[in-house]
């Protein structure tokens, strides 16, 4: 069965430091997609970054990068130069293998990040 695992329930980081949020996944499908979403205390879900399983380069979006290690089945989110506004819940998600074109996402349980001044 496909699964997303986020082993860190909570993390904290000093402002301006970099932080890595872990995500491992399990799938037997060679074609899949990996996503990270941010959920601040206000509750909305904000898309951060996407990595396709066939993408050769690690995805980057501004201060966010995805450390994609296919053999290890990991898709860690790296946030560089943390800011106070980065304090939020972060979810890793994977496109279900049986999705076809529907992009049904499976989510991990999330990691709560606290950025300290």
Q: Is 10 an interacting residue with respect to other proteins (CB under 8 A)?
A: no
Q: Is 102 an interacting residue with respect to other proteins (CB under 8 A)?
A: yes
Selected from 19, 23, 93, 115, the binder of other proteins by CB under 8 A is: 93
Q: What b/e readout covers 12-36, taking b as 16+ CB neighbours within 10 angstroms? A: ebeeeeebebbbbbebeeeebbbbb
Give me the least distance between CB of 45 and other proteins, in Å please: 4
User: Which residues, 22 to 41, sit near other proteins by CB under 8 A?
Assistant: 33, 35, 37
Q: Answer yes or no: are the C-beta atoms of 25 and 94 closer than 8 Å.
A: yes
Q: Answer yes or no: are the C-beta atoms of 34 and 21 closer than 8 Å.
A: no
Interface positions with other proteins (CB under 8 A) = 4, 33, 35, 37, 43-45, 47, 50, 52, 91, 93, 95, 101-110
């Amino acid at each position: 069965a496909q699964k997303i695992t986020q082993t860190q329930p909570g993390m904290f980081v000093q402002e301006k430091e970099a932080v890595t949020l872990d995500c491992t996944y399990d799938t037997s499908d060679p074609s899949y997609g990996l996503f990270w979403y941010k959920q601040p205390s206000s509750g909305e879900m904000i898309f951060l970054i996407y990595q396709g399983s066939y993408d050769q380069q690690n995805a980057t979006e501004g201060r966010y990068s995805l450390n994609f290690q296919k053999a290890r089945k990991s898709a860690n989110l790296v946030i560089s130069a943390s800011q106070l506004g980065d304090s939020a819940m972060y979810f890793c998600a994977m496109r279900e293998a049986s999705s076809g074109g529907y992009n049904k996402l499976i989510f991990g349980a999330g990691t709560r990040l606290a950025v300290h001044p």
